[in-house]
Homo-oligomer: A and B are copies of this chain.
């Protein structure tokens, strides 16, 4: 390998961005050439142009075929629908199968809808049963049925076993490829078997040791095999404690364990401790990414992942559930204000000032909630410590309420020249920050203890409370003391 090649391996991100840019350029040129060809149909179309066109397609084809499946999947996600199809058509069959597995669920559904069914079935037949199980839920039922029929019985049973696990369970993410040794073998025996095998599954850093009934007895790190005397019995090296998972465990828990103990792979067992699979760090990173991505989308009020280039109709519908919830809370808030229309009619300044009270409350409450949700995600809030957190947040609420309430009160006095208005404003801010602190602690704790995801919908609920209470406190105090 020449040093120049080596330089080319650096900056994988830059290279990927360049590939994407280059493909977009080729596609744009393709479109221009197509348009020109349409304008001057028939014999008039000149040779040079045809040549350019063919060259352009050849260049696109060459670039696509040289790419890694994961990179192509990324590029398909980034392209608009018609470009996506132009590139997809250039991907050779075996590469296409890998790309299909690597790409996002939204893009996979798009490809299935736009590709001839026979081609999709042929592509799926190239996949091993585990990869097939991974993409199975994004396939239409007819295709699921057709592909199932083409499988051998052993493959079908792996497929059926895998899709039975919950999407969030370790069993859904584990692989069935691992290296095992019998507890009666010596290191020399194991090394001989490995040499006969020729290659090991990706991310193999441990050999799993099992007994005659296939019960997991321990594991041995690969480097240990290299450095120990071949005559040593393998079981002598399995002494250390190790981490394993059950296939029905929540995958989320595996993420913390992999992070905490710096694991590369770990055995997965059934309820009788028999070895059934292996969890690797790349699958764990997928779990982590999925969780982070879902949380970001949920905090924006989206129920599921969305293809950036999905049809506007699909996208619009994806956004309705949370819009509907938001609308209901907005209506209710509106009715709170509605009860005070008499006061507002007498003093319209109240309408101008009331959003400030609500806004400060929402902001503070969301800060508290972000901290509590993060602590809950790592199980670090013990029930008997919740009161302590609440007390602290209440203290902060009172301190911030006095400080910012004073500022807001002075602002109101300077603009409207009414002392009582400023005092009412200050009192409302103070009280609303106390409400925000309580809601910010109790909403995520409540959602968590009822078994729900505290991040989901917590922000909508909190804003509803801080808006509603903010308006109620401010306008209520105004009715008593101002008019």
A215-259 CB contacts (< 8 Å) to partner B: 215-218, 222-227, 238-239, 241-246, 249, 253, 256-259
Chain B residues, CB < 8 A from A392: 309, 312, 315
Identify A301's interface contact among B11, B216, B358, B366, CB under 8 A. B366
A378 touches which one: B74, B227, B301, B327 (CB < 8 A)?
B74
Complex Cα distance A16/B382, Å?
Answer: 13
Contact stretch, chosen from A49-57, A146-154, A156-164, A200-208 = A200-208
B-binding segment of A93-101, A119-127, A349-357: A349-357
Stretch at the interface among A38-46, A130-138, A292-300, A445-453: A292-300
Interface residues on A, range: 35 or more
**A239 contact set on B, CB distance < 8 A:** 1
Q: Mark A163-192, 1 if CB is under 8 A from B, else 0.
A: 000000000000000000000000000010
CA distance A74 to B378 in the complex (A): 9
Contact surface of A with B, Cβ cutoff 8 Å: 1, 3, 5-7, 9-13, 16-17, 20-21, 24, 28, 68, 70-71, 74, 77-78, 80, 191, 194-195, 197-200, 202-205, 215-218, 222-227, 238-239, 241-246, 249, 253, 256-262, 264, 269, 273, 280-282, 284-286, 288-289, 292-293, 295-297, 299-302, 306, 308-309, 312-313, 315-316, 319-320, 322-323, 326-327, 329-331, 333-335, 337-338, 341-342, 344-345, 348-356, 358-360, 363-364, 366-367, 369-371, 373-375, 378-382, 384-385, 388-389, 392, 395-396, 399-400, 404, 407-408, 411, 415, 467, 471
| Additional pairs, 4, CB under 8 Å, beyond known A264-B281, A300-B369 | A80-B385, A308-B389, A333-B355, A333-B356
